[in-house]
Amino acid sequence: MPSAPPVLSPEQLHALGEELDAIRARVVADLGERDVDYINRLIRVQRGLEVAGRGLLFAGFLPPAWIGGTAALSLSKILDNMEIGHNVMHGQYDWTGDERLNGKTFEWDTACPGEQWRHSHNYMHHTHTNIVGKDRDIGYGILRMSEDEPWRPYYLGNPLYAALLATFFQYGVAMHDVEAEQIAAGESALDDEKRDKLQAIWRKVRGQTLKDYVLFPLLSGPSLPFVLAGNATANLTRNLWAFTIIFCGHFPDGTEQFTEEETENETRGEWYYRQMLGSANLTGGKLFHILAGNLSYQIEHHLFPDLPAHRYGEISEEVREIRERYGIPYNTGPLHKQFGSVVRKIVKLALPPLPALPGLRGSEPGLNKPAAQARPPKRAATKAGSRTLPAPRTGARKLTAAKTGPRKRAAVA
Amino acid sequence: MINPVLRSSQIRPHGLGRRLLRSRLLGALTYPHGVDRYVELIHPLLLARDVRAEVTAVRHQTSRSVTLALRPNENWRGFRAGQFVGVSVKVDGVRLTRPYSPAGSEQAADGALELTVSTHPDGRVSRHLRDHARPGMVVDLTQAQGEFILPSPRPQRVLLISGGSGITPVMAMLRTLCQEGFAGEIGFLNYARSPTLALYDAELATLALRHEGLRVVRGFTRVRRSELAGRFDREHLAAVTSDHAAAATFVCGPPALIDSVRTVWAKDGLPEPAVETFTAPALRFDTDGAEGRVSFTASGRQAANSGLPLLEQAEDAGLAPEHGCRMGICNTCSTRKRTGTVRNVISGGLSSAGEEQIRICVSVPVGDVALDL
């Protein structure tokens, strides 16, 4: 069971920020040909896989060709979206001055228009990471992924909605920025801005659909059903993979969520600290990391979203060492373990919170830590009843409170 | 990366192939990346729209220059003598773009281009090209740009004045006129620091022998005994032209040369000659008197106005705007200004306060400015 994170003094948070800034500055100074060669090689592999996959599917009536073609096209879409699209659109290669690698103009092979992704992901998610009510990656507006989200009978369907979201993930991501569920619930109006966004989504979806489900199947003549099935399978494989990796980034056991009050007037050090507490890594081999778009180094990615992702592995040891020195747990594990805990959370949060039972709180290891003593009474009173998960958010982590409230120094070497 | 099996002459898409590359069907099949992002992997010159060129020959006229022969792909629309082209190369992974004026005739066979690149001590692109350009190297090009061109129909008298690396656009004019069999008078005042650094020396001598109306006189500014003494002077004009007032005049070189020619023309009450300079003028920025704030609206960042050009201020704020020449030529850094007034550091002119595109590499804020970055 993960233990509650330490309380850091403002001075420690400042020092933490400076140490991380120094890592960043060092990598930035070292950026060069190696990084460009890497991403260009990956783009060549992706385009090659795509051409090979689509070519093989023309002979899709032969089972080996169908399997090989579908596999190649799936890999192509995964690489295009994860290691290339996601990372290029973060501006990780803007320093190259190459318009083909420009984060502001890059488009990817998925339903979500790049323009909207840059807003919903790069800005909303990366700035407000794991802030309930601000970071729409917490449940995509349809799932209950935080105990801070009040339970409603609707959430009984949590596992079902998650399965549907995973299956149609590219459309879920596409609708992310429009906040469609808020329009449906009457909470926000379908104004001109939203209409424009919907139109852009429609154009993108039309282009994607035309290519995958009309033109390539028609061009293949007698192989039409095989191409159709192969393309659909490749899109589905990419959807499931992207969902799995992305949900392992911020929801496994031990990742923290925050409220808007907690994060008001954050300093850079506090921002870094929140990014560390809210993200979790995955362990695996080199190929696994590439297919995961190096989001398996989610912690490093959230600290340095605009550094080329293939560098995260290289700096991960250093980041881990810094975290250990400050007593911040490094949340990592193999895919099956991390995803297993995400699935458990999805199922658990489908159910209403257990009523507060005497003795239950005492059994939560996190609350026995001295850190919990710093929890402001107001919060403790309002949250105690609804808390069902261990590793509770404590006031001690409340970053602003750490400045003024009782200070508990972490064990710092 | 050149595929040795395909020679560029074989893969240049002609007629039907080119129409196919640009077809809507291929566009839809390669959505959203576009055809070029696939076919360029077969051969880097095989593109539906972008201009690229392959280096076909490399020679060194002087120790401080390199002369490249380039064969552009089919998308190149040609140039007019005197124009420049943006050349992009990758140096340490960073794509850098610099303007160079083709020095060849505008009617060169097969659309071939000749670029003579003079190195600067700090010139990353020029030194990279001098040290690393080899036949087979591929560079990205822009279409030709610029208003420094020979008028059509041609004038009766032409006067060309160049200094140092500024010889390239006027060399293109001279070669074009010679190839056309121009019957009028051409005067060419050509300055270099010393004979060892003089470009196109032998060719100029040959052309002068062959063309009756052409008078070429060279001045070496750092050698005492040369045909012309020292830097440009009114007296030098007599050596190449009978009447400078009647000649269509084209000047390209360092700012000091352009200033002295302009002074003579102004004194004589003549209209401004056509001029071009690729040396960024030594600019002084008022970093102490700078006022106001700069807001980068797209990224939500803000900074106090430091008095430097907005491109540098954006970079100081951690942004990486697209840019090329950093001297107000290539327009790569063109960015939407939402509000505020900027001063153009080259012309000194003030912009309007409203929304407009500006070149941020040569624009300094005057008070508060909001940029779409």
Same domain, B12 and B135: yes
Query: Could you tell me if B66 and B175 lie in one domain?
Result: no
CB-CB neighbours of A245 under 10 Å: 23
Determine, for residues A33 and B93 on separate chains, whether the beta-carbon distance falls below 8 Å.
Answer: yes
Kindly determine whether residue B37 and residue A100, on different chains, have CB atoms separated by under 8 Å. yes
d(CA A169, CA A76): 17
Tell me the three state secondary structure of residue B297: coil
Asked if residue B327 and residue B202 are part of one domain, the reply reads: no
Residue of B nearest to A41 (CA): B41
3-state helix, strand, coil in chain A (%, to 5): 65, 0, 30
Q: Do B95 and A97 touch (CB under 8 A)?
A: yes
- Hey, are the CB atoms on A35 and B33 less than 8 Å from each other? no
Asked if A107 and B32 come within 8 Å (Cβ–Cβ), the reply is: yes
Handedness of CA B312, B314, B316, B319 (dihedral sign): negative
Out of A37, A95, A204, whose CB is closest to B320?
A: A95
B210/B194 Cα distance (integer angstroms): 25
Any A CB within 8 A of B132 CB: no
CA distance B38 to chain A (A): 7
Q: What does the block give as tokens for B289?
A: 């008197």
Beta-carbon separation of A215 and B28 below 8 A: yes
SS3 A98: coil
Q: Say what the ipTM of the complex is.
A: 0.83
What are the structural domain ranges in chain A?
15-363
Alpha-carbon gap, residue A296 to A311, rounded angstroms? 12
Q: Which residue has the higher pLDDT, B275 or A392?
A: B275
* Chain A residue with minimum CA distance to B300: A123
**Model confidence over A210-230: pLDDT tens digits?**
999 999 999 999 999 999 999
Instruction: Judge: A215–B41 Cβ closer than 8 Å, yes or no.
Output: no
Tens of pLDDT, residue by residue, chain A (413 residues):
445 778 899 999 999 999 999 999 999 999 999 999 999 999 999 999 999 999 999 999 999 999 999 999 999 999 999 999 999 999 899 889 888 998 888 999 999 999 899 888 988 899 889 999 889 899 888 999 998 889 999 999 999 999 999 999 999 999 988 887 788 878 888 888 899 999 999 999 999 999 999 999 999 999 999 999 999 999 999 999 999 999 999 999 999 999 888 888 888 899 999 999 999 999 999 999 999 999 999 999 999 999 999 999 999 999 999 999 999 988 999 999 999 999 999 999 999 988 765 554 433 333 333 333 333 333 333 333 333 333 333 333 444 433 333 333 333 33
Considering the domain architecture, whether residues B92 and B179 belong to the same structural domain is answered as no
Termini Cα distance of chain B = 34
Say whether both B116 and B165 belong to one domain: no
CA dihedral for A37, A39, A42, A48, sign (positive or negative) = negative
pLDDT tens digits for A150-177? 999 999 999 999 999 999 999 999 998 8
* Domain final residue pick, B141, B172, B189: B141
CATH code, domain carrying B311: 3.10.20.30
Residue B322 at interface with chain A, using a CB cutoff of 8 Å? yes
What is the rounded distance in angstroms from the CA atom of residue A266 to the CA atom of residue A269? Answer: 8
B33 and B124 part of one domain:
yes
Between A and B, how many CB-CB pairs are < 8 A? 63
Touching A: B residues 88-117, CB under 8 Å: 90, 92-97
CATH number at residue B264: 3.40.50.80
Task: Please report, for residues B72, B77, B78, the alpha-carbon distance to residue B110 in angstroms, rounded to integers and kept in the order given.
Answer: 9, 12, 10
Domain end residue (candidates: B242, B276, B310): B276
Residue B31 shares a structural domain with residue B131? yes
Residue B148 domain-assigned? no
Within this chain, do residues B115 and B82 fall inside the same structural domain, yes or no?
A: yes
Å between B32 CA and nearest CA of chain A? 6
| Whether residues B319 and B260 fall in one domain | no
* Angstroms from A204 CA to nearest CA on chain B: 8
* B-interface mutation test, from A211, A212, A216, A227, most B Cβ less than 10 A away: A211
Asked if residue B281 belongs to a domain, the reply is: no
Residues B209 and B298 occupy one common structural domain: no
Instruction: Indicate if B106 and B22 belong to the same structural domain.
Output: yes
Taking CA atoms, what residue in A is nearest to B29? A211
Chain A CB contacts of B29 under 8 Å are 211, 215-216, 219
Residues 281-320, chain B, touching A (beta carbon < 8 A): 300, 320
Residues in chain A: 413
Residues of the domain holding B344: 293-371
Q: Cα distance from A127 to chain B (closest Cα, Å)?
A: 11
Which residue carries 């039907």 as its tokens? B16
CATH of the domain at B30: 2.40.30.10
Tell me whether A210 touches chain B (CB under 8 Å). Answer: yes
Q: Based on the structure, what is the number of domains in chain B?
A: 3
Is residue B192 a part of any domain in this protein? yes
- B152 is a domain residue: no
For residue B291, what are its two tokens? 């006022």
Residue B88 DSSP label = E
On whether both B17 and B108 belong to a single domain, the answer is yes
Domain termination residue (choose one: B276, B308, B343): B276
CB contact under 8 A, A109 and B33: yes
The Cα B90–Cα A293 span in angstroms is 25
How far out from the chain centre does Cα A305 lie? 12
**In terms of Cα–Cα distance, which of A121, A85, A81 is closest to A101?**
A85
User: B73 to chain A, minimum CA–CA distance in Å?
Assistant: 19
Of B31, B93, B320, the CB nearest to A35: B93
Any CB–CB contact under 8 A between B49 and chain A? no
pLDDT of residue A363: 38
